[in-house]
Structure 1
Amino acid sequence: MREDLPEIMVGGVVLAAAIGFALYAGQAAGLTGARDTYALQASFRSLEGIDVGTDLRLAGVKIGKVTDVTLNPTTYRADTVVSIDDGIEIPDDSALVVSSEGLLGGNYMEIVPGGSPFYFSNGDMISDTQGAVSLISLLLKFVSGQGDN
C-alpha cells in the first residue's frame, strides 16, 4: 500500500465537497439552466435599488427576474424588461411595483395582479408602474411637516 493514499483520499473528499458547494450555489442563484420565459416591458420614474437579475415576485413567490434596464434619453425614465416563467399568466391590468424587503433589506419587483380576464403576452408593455420610494425623502417630509394632508 502506498504511503500517500490517505492524502489522496482527503484531497478527493475536499474536491467532492467543493464541487457539491459549487452546484448548490449555482442552484441557489438560479443558474441551473435556461427556463422557458416570456418578456414584458415597463417604464419607471425611479428604479432605485433594482438591477439586472433582481427578483420578480407575485404573492411573495419568485416568478421571474429583471433582464434589462436602460435609460430612455427622450423621457428620462428607466425602461425595464422583466422575464416571467412560462405557465404564469398575468392579467393585463396588473401593476408592476418596486417593493422593499424592509428598512434594511433590498428592493425587488412585485406584480400586483389585476382582475382582467385577458392576459399579457410576450413583448407587451405594463403601463401601470410604481417606482421606488426614497426612504430619506419620506423621512424629510415627515420631519419638516410637509406631508400631504
Structure 2
Amino acid sequence: MSQNTTEVITGGVVLAAAVAFLFYAGQVAGLGGGGDSYTLRGSFRTADGIGVGTDVRLAGVKIGTVTSLTLNPTTYFADATISVPDAVQVPADSSLLISSEGLLGGNFVEIQPGGALENLGPGEEIEDTQGSVSLISLLLAFVSGRGDSDDASSDTAAP
C-alpha cells in the first residue's frame, strides 16, 4: 500500500510541475489576461525581423506585442498593428521604429513618446515611423562610400 501512496504523490508532483510550466509559458508568451488593451497602427517601408508576437517596448520595457503585419497593396509598405495596454497613453506625436537588440539579437518595435498633450486613441495611426536597418546594407554603403571618397580625393589631388 505504501508503494501506491508514493506513486500517487510522485504523480501529483509531476502534474503540479506541468501545470506550473504551462502557466509560466502562457505568461511569457503574453497569453494571460493581462488587462484591457487598445490597438495602434503604423506603416513601415521595411519590416525585416518583426512578425506577429514581436515585443513592443517603451523605454526598454515590454508593454505590448505586434498583433498583425500585412502588406499594403497600394503603398507597398508593411502595415503593422500593435497592442498597447489601456494604462499606457501614447502621445499623438510619438514615433514608432524597429530597433535591434544588438548585432546578434532580434528586432523589436519601439515607441518613442512625443510631447503632445493629446493622446492617440484606439485604432489610430502613428505617422512617424522608421523601418528596420539592414546591417549588410550599412556595411555596403560604408565600403562603397569610402571607396568613392578615396577615388575623389585622388582625382582632385592630381592636376
In 2: Cα distance, 1:81 partner to 1:28 partner: 20
Residue in structure 2 matched with residue 17 of structure 1 by the alignment: 17
Gaps of 5+ in 1: none
Matched, 1:79 2:74: no
Deviates most, 136-145 or 44-53: 136-145
The yes-or-no answer on 1:46 pairing with 2:46 is yes
TM-score under structure 2 length normalisation: 0.87
Letter in 2 for 1:70: T
Partner letter of residue 59 of structure 1?
Answer: A
Q: Residue type of the partner of 1:77? A: F
Give, as a single letter, the amino acid of the residue that structure 2 aligns with 1:15.
Answer: L
RMSD: 1.9
Cross-structure match for 1:65: 65
TM-score scaled to structure 1, two decimals? 0.92
Larger of the two Rg values belongs to structure? 2
Aligned to 2:129: 129
- The one-character-per-residue Cα deviations of 1:33-82 (angstroms, maximum 9, x if unpaired) are 25211111111100001101111111011111111111011111001111
SS of 1:110's partner is: strand
Tell me the CA shift for residue 118 of structure 1. 1.1
Aligned equivalents of 1:67 and 1:21: distance in 2?
Answer: 24
Residue of structure 1 equivalent to 2:109: 109
Q: How many residues are treated as equivalent by the alignment?
A: 149
Q: Secondary structure at the match of 1:75?
A: coil
21-30 vs 76-85, greater mean Cα deviation: 21-30
Larger helix proportion of the pair: 2
1:3–1:88 Cα change, 3 Å: closer
Q: Which runs of 5+ in 2 are unaligned?
A: 150-159
Name whichever of 74-83 and 5-14 sits farther off.
Answer: 5-14
Q: Which runs of 4+ in 1 moved over 6 A?
A: none
- After alignment, is 41-50 or 24-33 more displaced? 24-33
